[in-house]
C-alpha cells in the first residue's frame, strides 16, 4: 500500500492511509486470516505500523 503511494506520487510526504479495524485484525494475523475480527492477536497493529 505505501509502496503504491511512493510509486504513483513519488513521495509519502503529506499522504494519509486509512486502515479499517477489521482489515488490520483479520488480515494481519501471524496465524493467517481469522474468521472473526474480535480474535486478532495484540501484535497485528504494531507489526503493521512497523511495516509502514
**Which tens digits make up the pLDDT trace of 4-36?**
777 788 887 777 777 777 777 666 767 766 666
Q: How many domains does the chain have?
A: 1
Dig out the grid coordinates for 21 from the structure: 479495524
Q: Alpha-carbon distance 25 to 36, whole Å?
A: 9
Range of the domain at 42: 2-51
Instruction: Tell me which of 37 and 14 has the higher pLDDT.
Output: 14
Cβ-proximal residues to 37 (8 Å cutoff; 6+ apart), any chain: 21, 22, 25, 26
User: What is the distance between the alpha carbons of residues 29 and 27, in angstroms, rounded to a whole number?
Assistant: 6
| Contacts of 39 by beta carbon, 8 Å cutoff, 6+ apart | 25
Helix or strand run (H / E) with residue 7:
helix 2-9
Please tell me whether the overall predicted TM-score, pTM, comes out greater than 0.85 for this model: no
Amino acid at each position: 500500500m505505501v509502496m503504491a503511494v511512493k510509486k504513483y506520487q513519488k513521495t509519502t510526504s503529506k499522504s494519509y492511509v486509512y486502515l479499517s479495524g477489521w482489515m488490520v485484525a483479520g488480515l494481519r494475523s501471524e496465524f493467517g486470516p481469522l474468521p472473526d475480527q474480535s480474535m486478532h492477536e495484540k501484535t497485528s497493529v504494531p507489526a503493521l505500523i512497523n511495516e509502514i
